[in-house]
Amino acid sequence: MNFKNAITALDFSTMDDSVIRYIRYWNSLFQLEKVYFMHIIKDLSHPKSVELEFHKIFHPDSPLDEKLRHEMSQHVERLMPKTPDLETTYEVHEGSPVEKMLHWADVKNIDLVVFGRKKVSEGSGLTPRRMAHRLDTNILFVPEKTKEPIRRVVVPLDYSEHSLRALETALALQKRIPGLKIEGLHVIEMMPVDHYPANTAYQHYAKLMKEANEKAYLKMTEDKGIEEGTVEKVFVENTPHTVPKALNDHLRANPCDLVIIGAKGHSALRNFFFGSTTERFIDLYDESPVLIIR
């Protein structure tokens, strides 16, 4: 997996520091060719920020978009000094944040879009679920106070081609980060215990499901030529939770540095854990960066 052209969304909040530092780290791993640092404002004529409104009043000869571009470039270059191998540009666009991001990701042939992931949304419209649902490219969500380096990656697996692409991305990352640990996580979908006639029936069904998943995992590693010990396999049951809740609970109890999940392009993530499951997981989980691979 190669990432060459990226859009990094900035909003002039404290979140930007985490996003800039992480794209700097990502560039050290994948040697990006171009990064567009982009800010989208709904209305340049009537900005909601008091500071920007004052600028329009007291500096009418200085266009607001130029001021924002200048501030953005200063902030980025303070945390991510220029290098000869990476081209960076700074853009300010007016309009709906979601629609503009979709437009420019398509126009500029983008293969990675990077967003900050806030604990509390400030109403910009760029919610993780909404962007995952609409964007037809790879997406990286970076939570507040994210730290690098990456030492442990978790890849949720359902053995579809889309989740296998996510695993291949993790393996490519492993070649760039010596000693990186990869966990292949599969949630065994169980019915609630009270649906079984006896506890022994539940245990028997759970045993059969685990054996089936062991075979599926073995076939996957053989088909893909993955050496034994390269990926740690982990099976968890979803009972008494839904699959996204089971994923969320496992990851919070067993922290990692990055989650990589696969999704079918332009499908609202339909093929990963039956679609809405992934979107719900993205809503729930905000502890470490999440990379969606298409």
Q: Are residues 106 and 230 in the same domain?
A: no
Check residue 99 and give its pLDDT. Answer: 93
Look at residues 79, 75, 70 and name the one whose alpha carbon lies nearest to residue 27.
79
Q: Identify whether the C-beta of residue 117 lies closer than 8 Å to the C-beta of residue 286.
A: yes
Q: Left (φ > 0), alpha (ψ -120 to 50) or beta: where does 198 sit? A: beta
Q: Are residues 169 and 97 in the same domain?
A: no
Q: Measured between alpha carbons, how far is 146 from 156 in angstroms, rounded to an integer? A: 20
Q: Are residues 49 and 117 in the same domain?
A: yes
Coil, helix or strand at residue 78: helix
Residue 173 exposure: Cα atoms within 13 Å on the Cβ side: 27
Is residue 85 classed exposed, middle or buried when 0-12, 13-18 and 19+ CB atoms within 10 A define those classes? exposed
Q: Are residues 186 and 130 in the same domain?
A: no
Report how far Cα 137 is from the mean position of its chain's Cα atoms: 11
Q: Are residues 130 and 166 in the same domain?
A: no
Q: Which residue has the tokens 């919610």?
A: 127
Q: Where do runs of H (alpha helix) occur along 31-154?
A: 50-58, 64-79, 97-107, 128-134
Q: Identify whether the C-beta of residue 265 lies closer than 8 Å to the C-beta of residue 136.
A: yes
Check residue 121 and give its pLDDT. Answer: 66
Coil, helix or strand at residue 49: coil
Q: Are residues 17 and 106 in the same domain?
A: yes
- Name residues of the chain where pLDDT drops below 70: 45-62, 120-125, 191-200, 240, 264-277
Q: Are residues 100 and 134 in the same domain?
A: yes
Q: Measured between alpha carbons, how far is 33 from 86 in angstroms, rounded to an integer? A: 5
Q: Are residues 215 and 266 in the same domain?
A: yes
Check residue 122 and give its pLDDT. Answer: 62
For the segment 103-114, what is each residue's pLDDT rounded down to a tens digit?
A: 999 999 999 999
Check residue 54 and give its pLDDT. Answer: 42
Look at residues 151, 143, 141 and name the one whose alpha carbon lies nearest to residue 293.
141
Bond into 149 cis (ω within 30):
yes
Q: Are residues 231 and 98 in the same domain?
A: no
What would you report as the CA-atom Rg of the chain, rounded to the nearest whole angstrom? 21
Q: Are residues 17 and 137 in the same domain?
A: yes
Range of the domain at 40: 5-143
pTM score of the predicted model: 0.88
Check residue 239 and give its pLDDT. Answer: 73
Of the three residues 110, 143, 176, the one that is the final residue of a domain is 143
Of the three residues 143, 175, 195, the one that is the final residue of a domain is 143
Q: Measured between alpha carbons, how far is 171 from 160 in angstroms, rounded to an integer? A: 17
Look at residues 107, 132, 153, 96 and name the one whose alpha carbon lies nearest to residue 7.
107
Q: Are residues 98 and 163 in the same domain?
A: no
Check residue 263 and give its pLDDT. Answer: 78
Q: Identify whether the C-beta of residue 158 lies closer than 8 Å to the C-beta of residue 11.
A: no
Check residue 61 and give its pLDDT. Answer: 60
CATH of the domain at 84: 3.40.50.620
Phi, psi of 254 (to 5 degrees): -130, 80
Listing DSSP states for 162-211 in one string gives HHHHHHHHHHHHHHHSTT-EEEEEEEE----GGGSSSHHHHHHHHHHHHH
Of the three residues 120, 143, 166, the one that is the final residue of a domain is 143
Q: Are residues 205 and 244 in the same domain?
A: yes
Q: Name the domain count of the chain.
A: 2
